[in-house]
């Protein structure tokens, strides 16, 4: 059983049940393969895709994360660089979306699995 806290486990993309096994097979910036999720936990064997198309719901988390990112970026630009043209806001947001896409994609799936996967730390569901 892992000593990781829940927050550490989420940030490191670990299994909700044992906090050991990794959700994703490859690194976030392995651009050909960053979306590949392990079928089951390599440590405790729990199935990550709880039902068919389970991770489709993660798009709502992704949307919320993106809106949060946009608001924070707009606030920072406004506070430190005001006045600037609207194009600066657009350029900043578009670059963030592109550069952070793998991280947003993965984080939203991890959060979704933790929130709606029905898995408890220390449990033994398969
Ligand atoms: Zn596990």
What pLDDT score does 1 carry? 66
- 122 alpha carbon to ligand 1 midpoint, in Å? 9
14: tokens are 């670990």
Instruction: Look at residue 38 and give its three-state secondary structure.
Output: coil
Give percent of the chain with pLDDT exceeding 70. 99
Q: Cβ distance 24 to 106 under 8 Å?
A: yes
- 113 alpha carbon to ligand 1 midpoint, in Å? 12
- 26 alpha carbon to ligand 1 midpoint, in Å? 17
Question: Which neighbouring-strand residues pair with 47?
Answer: 40
Tell me what percent of the chain is helix, strand and coil, each rounded to the nearest 5. Answer: 50, 5, 45
How far is the C-alpha of 99 from the C-alpha of 49, rounded, in Å?
A: 26
What pLDDT score does 55 carry? 97
Instruction: Look at residue 26 and give its three-state secondary structure.
Output: coil
- 19 alpha carbon to ligand 1 midpoint, in Å? 6
Q: What are 57-104's pLDDT values in tens digits? A: 999 999 999 999 999 999 999 999 999 999 999 999 999 999 999 999
Return the residue matching tokens 């050991």.
20
Return the residue matching tokens 């896409």.
101
- 68 alpha carbon to ligand 1 midpoint, in Å? 30
């Amino acid at each position: 059983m892992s000593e990781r806290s829940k927050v550490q486990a989420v940030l490191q993309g670990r299994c909700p049940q044992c906090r050991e096994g990794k959700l994703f097979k490859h690194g976030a910036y392995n651009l050909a393969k960053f979306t590949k999720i392990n079928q089951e936990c390599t440590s405790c064997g729990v199935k990550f895709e709880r039902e068919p198309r389970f991770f489709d719901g993660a798009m709502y988390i992704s949307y919320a994360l993106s809106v949060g990112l946009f608001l924070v970026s707009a606030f920072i630009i406004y506070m430190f660089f005001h006045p600037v043209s609207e194009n600066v806001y657009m350029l900043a947001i578009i670059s963030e979306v592109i550069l952070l896409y793998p991280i947003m994609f993965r984080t939203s799936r991890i959060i979704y699995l933790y929130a709606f996967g029905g898995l408890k730390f220390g449990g033994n569901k398969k």
